[in-house]
Every structure is written in structure tokens, then in C-alpha cells.
Amino acid sequence: MTPTTSASGAGRGPRTTHHAPNSPAIDVADLTVAYRDEPVLWDIDLVVPEGVLMAIVGPNGAGKTTLVKAILGLLPTAAGRVEVLGQPLAATRRAVAYVPQRGSVDWDFPTSVLDVVLMGTYGRLGWIKRPGAREKADARAALEQVGMADFADRQIAQLSGGQQQRVFLARALVQDARVYLMDEPFQGVDATTERTIVALLQRLREEGKTVLVVHHDLQTVPEYFDWVLLLNVRRIAAGPVAEVFTDANLRMAYGGRVPFQARSEESGGRGQEPGTPAPLADGERQRGDGTPPHPGSPAPNPSRL
Amino acid sequence: MIEFDYTLRTVALGAAVLGLSSGALGAFAVLRGQSLLGDAISHAALPGVALAFLLTASKAPLVLVIGAGLAGWVGTLCVMGITRTSRVPYDAALGIVLSVFFGLGMVLLTYLQARPQASQAGLDTFLFGQAAALVGRDVATMAGIGALALVLMGVFWKEFKLLLFDADFAAVQGFPVRALDIGLTTLLVVAIVIGLQTVGVVLMSALIVAPAAAARQWTDRLIGVVAGAGAFGALSGASGAILSATTARLPTGPTIVLCATAVVVVSLAFAPRRGLVSAWLRGRRNRQVLRVAGTLEDLYTLALGHADPHYPHPAATLRTMTHSPDAVEPTLDALRQQGLVEARDDAWALTGRGLAEAQRLARDRGEGRDA
Amino acid sequence: MTPQLEIQVIAAVTAAACALVGAFLVLRKTALLSDAISHAILPGIVLAFFQTENLNSPLLLVAAAVTGVVTVALIEALGRTQLVKQDAAIALVFPALFSIGVVLISRYASGVHLDIDAVLLGDPAFSWIRRFEVGGRDLGPQALWLMGSVLVAVAAFVVAFYKELKLSTFDPALAAALGLAPTAVHYGLMTLVSVVAVGAFDVVGSILVVGLMIAPPAAAWLLTDRLPVLLALSVALGVVSAVAGYWLARGLDVSIAGAMAVVAGVVFTVALAFAPDRGLVAQARRRARQRVAFAERMLLVHLLHHEHTPEAETECRVGHLQEHLRWERSFASRAVKAAERGGAVRRSGDRLALTASGREAAQRAMVA
């Protein structure tokens, strides 16, 4: 009954996308997402060419996670259009890999590291078919790439935060996609994991993949990425880091208070959110990670009721 | 006597079948954080039982089970609808559905009672269950439905697992999350209605949750939790039913629940890795190891202040350096047995190996600080 | 008072007490603790009953309160081990305790006046029979005195600790920081829930008491945002459910307690559908209204966004709205008309342009 016992030689799906040549990896036009009646993303236009390594940055509540989820079709959109590799998502799903926020799942779930990585093969396996020897080999190879090969049979609850993040990355790698969407992979990870992720991002870029990463640490944007999207409900700017990552744009995105701050000087500084201005919209509240509000943010108002 | 044995066997078999299916299918609900949904579904099933009887005048188990299942299903949809369209929280929605549906069931049952032509005797066993009333046909019905549900669970195992662990990731890969969700909930409804007649609506939810909660302590694999929950469920069901059938005035449902609870208590206490006893022992051992290491490091700190690292220091000095002074003497003894320290003139000194070990500890600790 | 009236008064007082404590359970998102407590106190009640042989004895209240607090403590301790989730902890603890109570009754109490059906289902119809007599004078039904005292106690608690209850409900962290002891308030509330549950046991039974605790406050929460109003409404809706339930049951000759729960469910459903601001009908109407308003804002932002850009020529055409904003033709023209009427947009042929006030409105919309 376990998905691991079936050895049916499920052939790896071919590169399923027959996208038009030269179409961008991601093409978002006029995208608006509203949460109840409040817009969380306003009229976003975004064209990301293939082979680009792009950071998505913006203050809390800017709609970064919402944008990623909307591109993936996980949220209803009020308006606009999303194309991946020149086609609607439904046609190019197989070419898209997703790394959700680490906190969005229950890590006490009874399963092993290898099993979680194997979940990345489920899409191409289709209904009912179980992962076989080939999928397992793929999964082990992906674990190797993130330095987690020795942990394949571990129960996932026994992993550190950084190790959990690397397992999620391996799961995305095994999807063998052309476009990767990652939601805060650097959130609260240790130095080893950060180095692993950076090396992985570089390699994906060398292989010509397109990677979009929701990112919090403005300091490392120029070092890690070559493109950046500055987002605050609407698109502030997008393009190559050298052109777009300017003081003026940052000030516009962060409402005049640019949260540059010395890294990792306070305890656990790497995992902390920079001191961001108060949320502008509800977008970030939908994040499933249950992160507590910023310590400086006002407490829920008891007089609301 | 033979008659009695046959009845007892039927009862035990029936209770085991229901324990198996509710335990195995309930495991998914527990892992999803829907432990209390079972309570709402089982209570919501009551009006379905009464309505099925009212409409068909039949007490055939299959008819009543279908009625119960439909009502339980409608109840679940109400919970989903309330939470999706209003600010009423999930658990309040469960509570409303649970008691309002149950109230409706009471109204219908009392209505039936008042009608002289329809004898509704037997319907109120749905409240607390009655294993003694099980006959071979009931058991066959239960086993058939349960087997069907388990087969479906096996066929869509991979999809359900993905849904349970990471629904968004399932959606990204193109699986219809909503349909899977409804399918899984339907299986839960099936698991519940199978047990209603034996365990009763009031306590059925315990048989959904308890076997899975117990099995989770023994294994870290999904297949292990599901299989273990099935086994624990069958065990609780059979033993509870036999106890109840052979003891005067021992109602079936509560007895089965208490058996299941006993399994949970044993599991929580004695499961090898997660269990409370093993955690306590591990904690004690870790504290012991830490204390021993602490004493060694303290001795090393003292040694650093001397030209001769093997200079002896009295235990009293060490006692001032720790939060648990009483533990100093025993830990020194432990260290001496490992050959890391030696007693000289009523005082304690590092041996050569002890010095090396202390240096290694200090180094590790330094690295740990960097990481 | 006639027995009929007495039954209604007893039911109404019970419903009021239930709604008052239930309101806080609903707001604190611990509604199902009422289910857990109302079942789990059974063994405590049974043991106390063995002592007193009277269901209306105050000793039962004490036993219930103790058992209820023990139940909650047990659930929380089990949750803290992290071996099971919090909701599983609830689902493990209360059936076990309830089962113990049921077994105690069936083994040792058959023959005395405590049977499981009565505990589980209650029946207001008989609640008036036991009288409270002092010196030969009949002062009314015992159940009324009991539930009346419970209601007074609950009301006194809510009034006395209103500030603490309110703050610990909406912001436990702040309550702790201010020294308002949210844990003590929590356990105080749980004690009250237990006391109310045991008092209501006899009247409505342990399952339907959950309905009276949760449904009226949940309905009230859909109707108001202010805590004092919510408390008053909860009590009012509870009383209405009780009295209307009584008459429904009389009319159909069915279980009074069951009918009370059904009416409470109907009241909740009505609130869910027709609440002025949050009801389903209001939601649908607002959505329809706002769809056009929202579309107009979106149109303005879209135009602003593409103003003075090379692609403005295509982006700012009415036909394009259909294609890219995925608007139906009729909807697009409604939005454009609304914007034109408001003087935010000028239209020349198929081409749209923002006016000065439209530009301002678009900028405002984006900051909002």
C-alpha cells in the first residue's frame, strides 16, 4: 500500500510544454487580486524573461506571497492574465516548481524526508500511479544536491528549520521544472542552508532556469540575484538589479523608511524581518506560516468589538 | 451455550470491523486537524436515521446507514458553508451543527414515538449503541461498506497523502484539491456511520480519534499510523464488545471507548521514542550527561588558572560553580569510572585523557556558538 | 405560576445562563470546550449524586465545577505534551470521562433516579415537579432556584470581571502584560461553564446545552460588533429560542429540549442569511454594488499605470479592457460609464483618458 512499494516503471513525463519560442518565462498582465473588497495586488504587469534569477521584495503586506500564489493559480484573481512560458498555467503546469513557505505545512506529519521529496514527482506520475525506482533515484539525487542525502529516511519532524527548507528545495528540484517559484526560502535558516540555497540558485541560473524568490533581506539582493521586483500592492519597479534597485525605488516601495540594517548582529538576525512599516494591506495575513506579527506592530484593537 | 457463542462471535467480529475501518479512516482526519469533525458528523447523523425510518418504515441496517450518512454529509457541508461565508469560527460551526442536528434528531425520534402504528424500538440504540443487537447481516453490511472505503483509500493513497501534507503543492501539480477534500470527508462519514449502531452517536467520535492518536506514537510513517490505527481500533472494538456482552449492565459504546482510551494511555506513556516515559528517561540521561560534562568543564576552567593542568581542586569549589551542587559528587564518581578524573588528597584532578576530553568539549562548544 | 409557565421560565433562565457564558467561548474560539465540559463532568456529577441522591443539590454544582476544571486542565496538559494536537486532545479526554460516568450509572445507579437518557437528553417537561419548600411554603420549582442562582452568579462574574474577560478574550498577551491574569480568567470561565452545564443538564441534557451555549452567541456575533450588545443579544436570542422551542414542542408533541435546539439553529440560520451587514444576502448585494465601484477604481488605476507609456495606445482602449481585465462587454461599458459620470475619465471614440480628478482618485486608490 505504500507509494514506495510499487515499481511500475512510470516513464518520466516528457518536457510537456510546447511553448512558443522566445516567449517570456512569466508574463503577468493587469493582475489584480482582491481579498474581500480590499485590493491586495493592484494592476500588476510583469514580464520575466527566461533564465533570470529574480528577487521579489517589498514591505510586509506588499502582496509578495499573494503574487506567487496568484501566478500559481492558487488564488482567485479579480482581473488580469497570467502566462507561463507563453501559455496559460493549465498547459504548462509540469514546467513550474513551487517552494512554499516552510511554515505552511505540519512538520509533525508522519512521513520521511524521501517521501516528501517524492511528492515532487506526483504531478508527472498522474493519478493513482505510485513512484517507482526511477522516481526514488531522482529524489535521492535531488537530496544529494541540497546536501541532505544522509537524511533520506529521517522523519521530517527531526529536521532543523534549515534542513526542512532544503527538503522543500529538493522536492522542487525533483519536479524538474523550468520555472521555480520560491516563497521566502531564506526565512530563518542557518548559514549552511543559506550557502546551499545560494549555490543552488546559481546553478539553476546556469542551467537556464527561471527562478522567482520572495526575499526579505535587502542587503543580499545585489549579491544573490540579477533581477528584482519591488512590490508594494502595485508594482514599484522591476528589472535588472543594477537599474532598478535604487534608493528612490526602495523609498517608494517602503514608504520612505528603507529597512536596511546591519545583518545578523542581533541574535538570529538573519531570520528576523527587517523593521518594516506597518502593513498596508491584508495580503501577508494570508500566509499560512503563522508568523507572529512584527513585535512593533500594534496589538489587535480590543475596542473593535 | 452454542447460541451464546455464536452471538458473541458476531458481536466481537462486528465491533472489530467497525474499529478497523473507523480507526484507519479516522487517521486521516486526525492528521488533518479535524479530530472534532467526527463528533459533529456522528451527532448530525441522528436525524438521518430517524428520517430514513420515517420515510421507509424499514429498520434494515443499510437503509438507516444511508440515512445517517446523508445527514452526516449535509452536516459537514453546513460546517464548511458557515465557516466559508461568515466569521463564525470553525469550532463554533461544529458545535452549532452538532447540537442543532442532534436536537432535530430528538424531535424526530419523539415524533415517531408518539405515533402508535410505528414501533421505533431499536432506533434509540443509535444514541449509545448496542453491540448485542448485531446480527450476521449487520456485520456483513458493515464489512462490505468498510472494505469499499478502505479500498478507495488505498487507490487514492498518494493523492490523499499529498492533500494531507501540502494541499497547495497538490494544487500546483494539477490535482483537484476540492474534489479530493470532499472525497476524503466522505470516507470519514462512511467510517462514522458504520459504527453508529454499535457505539452510538455520542461516543463514535472517540473511535475515530483514539486509535490514530495511539498509533501515531509508535510510528513515523503514514502507512504505519493508518495500519496501526486500524489494528488498535479493531482491538478496542472487539475487546470492548466482548466485555460489554459478557458483563451485566455494561453498555457497549462506553466500554469500547474506555478500551480505546486505555490503548491511548499506554501508547502515550510507553511508546518507544515519543512516549512520556521514554522522554523522561531520555531527559534524565541527557541531564546526567550534561552534568558530567559540566563538572568536567568546571574542572578544566579551574585547571586553566594553574600552571599545572593536573592540579587537584576540592569538590567544595566545584559545588560553588554549578546550579546543582548535590550532583557534583556523583558526577565526579562517574568521571572517575571513565578515567577522566582522579582523586588526590581529598581533591580532584584531571587525568591526561580528561584534559583532552575537556579541551574537545570546549572546542565543540566554541563551534556551536559560531554556527 | 402554572407548570406550563414555570417550564418556560426555567427554560428561558437556562438559555440565558448558557448564552452568557457561551458568548465568551465563541469569541475565544474555544466553543467546543462547552461540548467537552458538558460531557466530561458526568462522572463528577454521578459521584456527587451517589452522596446526595438529589439532582438539584448544590453539591452537584461543586462536583461539576471541579470536574470541569480538571477536564480543561487535562486537555491542556495533553496538548502541551505535543504528542497529540489540541483538537485531538479534546476528542480523547471528554469521551473517556463521559464513558466513565455512563458506566458508573449503569453499574451502580440503576434503580435510582438517574438514568443515562435523562442526563444526555434532559427534559424540561418534568423540571417543575420538584418544589423548593421552606417551612411548608412552596417557593417554586427547585430547578428554577438552581438555574436562577447560576444565572445570577454568571451575570455577577461577567459584570465584576468584564474588563478582564474582554481583554483576555481579544488580546491575552496584553492582558498578561497588564497583570490581568488571563489564565485565572480562563479557568474562572471554565468553572462557570461547568456550573451552567450541570445546572442545565437536568433541563436540556448535555448535548443540547452545547447548542444553547454556541448558537445564540454565534448568531449575535453576526449582528453586532460591540461586546455589551453582543452579550445582551445572545441572552435575548437564547430566551427566544427556549420559549419558541417550548411552543413548537407543544404543538408537535415532541421533545422540548430538541425543539429548543432546532429553534436556536433556525435563529442562527436566519442571522447567517439576513444579518444587516454580514449576512449572506447583504454580502451578495454589497458584492454586486462594489463590483462596479471596484471595477471603476481598477479602470482608473489601469489608465494611470499606462498613461504616457508606449503601450498606452492599446492598453487604454475599451476593447482592451474586455480582453485583459477579463470583463464582459456590458460590464466594461458599465464601469466606463460610471467613471465617465464621475468625471474621472474622458472618452474619445474607443480611447480613454484620465481627467485630473480621475488621476487623483487613481493615486488615492493605490495608496489605500
State how beta strands A79-84 and A26-35 pair: antiparallel
What number of CA atoms fall less than 13 Å from residue C243's CA on the CB side? 11
C277 vs C90, residue with greater confidence: C90
Q: What is the mean pLDDT of residues B33-62?
A: 88
C-contacting residues in B 109-138 (Cβ below 8 Å): 109-111, 114, 124, 127-128
Residue C199 has pLDDT above 90, yes or no: no
State how beta strands B347-350 and C131-134 pair: unpaired
Q: How many CB atoms lie within 10 A of CB C368?
A: 12
What integer pLDDT is reported at residue C113 of this predicted model? 55
A40 φ, ψ to 5°?
-105, -30
Residue C214 has pLDDT above 90, yes or no: yes
How much is the mean pLDDT over chain C? 84
From the CA atom positions of chain C, what is the Rg in Å? 29
Residue B152 CB contacts under 8 Å (≥ 6 apart), including other chains: B183, B187
Contact A93 B175 (CB under 8 A): no
Taking CA A266 as the corner, what is the angle to CA A261 and CA A269, rounded to the nearest 5 degrees? 65
Three cell numbers written together for B31: 492528521
Contact B220 A119 (CB under 8 A): no
A117 vs B116, residue with greater confidence: A117
Q: What is the mean pLDDT of residues B244-267?
A: 90
Report for A121-135, C117-131, C284-298: range of highest mean pLDDT: A121-135
Residues of A in contact with B161 (CB under 8 A): 3, 111, 119
Residue B162 has pLDDT above 90, yes or no: yes
Residue C137 DSSP SS3 = strand
Residues of B in contact with C262 (CB under 8 A): 100, 103-104, 107
Q: What DSSP character marks residue B313?
A: B
Q: Which residue of A has its CA nearest to B170?
A: A123
Contact B155 A128 (CB under 8 A): yes
Taking CA A210 as the corner, what is the angle to CA A205 and CA A213, rounded to the nearest 5 degrees? 95
ipTM score of complex: 0.85
Three cell numbers written together for B174: 494539477
What integer pLDDT is reported at residue C366 of this predicted model? 65
Please tell me the distance in Å from A80's CA to the nearest CA on chain C. Answer: 5
Residues of A in contact with C170 (CB under 8 A): 300, 302, 304-305
Q: Quick check: B190 and B22 in contact, CB under 8 A? A: no
Q: Quick check: C34 and C209 in contact, CB under 8 A? A: yes
Q: Quick check: A229 and A238 in contact, CB under 8 A? A: yes
C-alpha to C-alpha distance for B180 and B183, rounded to whole angstroms: 5
What confidence tens digit (pLDDT) does each residue in B345-357 have?
Answer: 778 888 888 888 8
B186 φ, ψ to 5°?
-60, -40
Alpha helix ranges (H) inside chain C: 3-27, 32-40, 42-52, 58-80, 86-108, 116-121, 142-160, 162-170, 172-177, 182-223, 227-252, 256-274, 280-306, 312-315, 318-324, 329-341, 356-367
Three cell numbers written together for C258: 430538541
Contact C298 A233 (CB under 8 A): no
Rounded to 10 deg, the angle between the B177-199 and B157-165 helix axes is 100
Residue B367 CB contacts under 8 Å (≥ 6 apart), including other chains: none
Q: Quick check: B46 and B128 in contact, CB under 8 A? A: no
Q: Which residue of C has its CA nearest to A28?
A: C324
Residue B50 has pLDDT above 60, yes or no: yes
Task: Count residue pairs from B and C with Cβ separation < 8 A.
Answer: 208
Contact partners of A by the rule of 3+ C-beta pairs under 8 A? B, C
Contact partners of C by the rule of 3+ C-beta pairs under 8 A? A, B
Three cell numbers written together for C268: 442562527
C-alpha to C-alpha distance for B52 and B29, rounded to whole angstroms: 27
Residue B3 has pLDDT above 60, yes or no: no
What integer pLDDT is reported at residue A62 of this predicted model? 87
Residues of B in contact with A2 (CB under 8 A): 157, 221, 223
What integer pLDDT is reported at residue A138 of this predicted model? 92
Contact C31 B87 (CB under 8 A): no
Task: Count residue pairs from A and B with Cβ separation < 8 A.
Answer: 91
The amino acid at residue C210 is V
B-contacting residues in C 93-122 (Cβ below 8 Å): 95-96, 98-100, 102-103, 106-107, 110, 116-117, 120-121
Give CA B44 to chain center in angstroms. 23
Q: What is the mean pLDDT of residues C46-71?
A: 84
| DSSP characters over B69-106 | HHHHHHHHHHHHHHHHHSS--HHHHHHHHHHHHHHHHH
Please tell me the distance in Å from C10's CA to the nearest CA on chain A. Answer: 31
How much is the mean pLDDT over chain B? 86
Contact B110 C208 (CB under 8 A): no
C-alpha to C-alpha distance for A89 and B173, rounded to whole angstroms: 11
C-alpha to C-alpha distance for C274 and C281, rounded to whole angstroms: 6
Q: Is C253 touching B (CB cutoff 8 A)?
A: yes
Residues of C in contact with B36 (CB under 8 A): 32, 87, 90-91
Residue A206 CB contacts under 8 Å (≥ 6 apart), including other chains: none
Q: Quick check: C7 and C124 in contact, CB under 8 A? A: yes
Alpha helix ranges (H) inside B200-275: 204-218, 222-246, 252-270
C114 vs A267, residue with greater confidence: C114
Q: Quick check: B14 and B131 in contact, CB under 8 A? A: yes
State how beta strands A227-232 and A53-57 pair: parallel
What integer pLDDT is reported at residue B161 of this predicted model? 95
Residues of B in contact with A106 (CB under 8 A): 31, 33, 165
B112 vs B238, residue with greater confidence: B238
Residues of A in contact with B164 (CB under 8 A): 109
Q: Is B91 touching C (CB cutoff 8 A)?
A: yes
Residue C320 DSSP SS3 = helix
What integer pLDDT is reported at residue B339 of this predicted model? 83
Q: Which residue of B has its CA nearest to C257?
A: B103
- pLDDT 10s per residue in chain A (305 long)? 333 333 333 333 344 444 455 678 899 988 888 876 677 888 888 999 998 999 999 988 889 999 999 999 998 887 788 999 988 888 888 899 999 999 899 999 999 999 999 999 998 888 988 898 899 999 999 999 998 989 989 999 889 888 999 999 999 999 989 999 999 999 888 888 898 899 999 999 889 999 999 998 888 898 899 999 999 888 888 889 888 888 888 888 887 665 554 333 333 333 334 433 333 333 333 333 333 334 333 333 333 33
Q: What DSSP character marks residue C110?
A: B
Three cell numbers written together for B226: 493508518
C-alpha to C-alpha distance for B122 and C291, rounded to whole angstroms: 55
Q: What DSSP character marks residue B133?
A: G
C-alpha to C-alpha distance for B122 and B49, rounded to whole angstroms: 11
- Choose, out of C302, C321, C331, C364, the residue to mutate when testing the contact with A (most A CBs < 10 Å): C302
Alpha helix ranges (H) inside B32-176: 37-56, 61-85, 90-114, 125-128, 136-155, 157-165, 167-172
B-contacting residues in A 33-72 (Cβ below 8 Å): 69, 72
C-alpha to C-alpha distance for A139 and B173, rounded to whole angstroms: 16
Q: By mean pLDDT, which of A74-88, C43-57, C305-319 is the weakest?
A: C305-319
What integer pLDDT is reported at residue B296 of this predicted model? 83
Q: What is the mean pLDDT of residues C38-60?
A: 83
Please tell me the distance in Å from B215's CA to the nearest CA on chain A. Answer: 11
What confidence tens digit (pLDDT) does each residue in B182-232 have?
Answer: 999 999 999 998 888 888 888 888 999 999 999 999 999 999 999 999 999
Three cell numbers written together for B14: 462486528
Q: How many CB atoms lie within 10 A of CB C82?
A: 11
Please tell me the distance in Å from A28's CA to the nearest CA on chain C. Answer: 10
Q: Quick check: B159 and A3 in contact, CB under 8 A? A: no
Q: Which residue of A has its CA nearest to C283?
A: A36
Q: What is the SS3 string spanning chain A? A: CCCCCCCCCCCCCCCCCCCCCCCCCEEEEEEEEEECCEEEEEEEEEEECCCCEEEEECCCCCCHHHHHHHHCCCCCCCEEEEEECCEEHHHHHHHEEEECCHHHCCCCCCCEHHHHHHHHHHHHHCCCCCCCHHHHHHHHHHHHHCCCHHHCCCEHHHCCHHHHHHHHHHHHHHCCCCEEEEECCCCCCCHHHHHHHHHHHHHHHHCCCEEEEECCCHHHHHHHCCEEEEEECEEEEEEEHHHHCCHHHHHHHCCCCCCCCCCCCCCCCCCCCCCCCCCCCCHHHHCCCCCCCCCCCCCCCHHHC
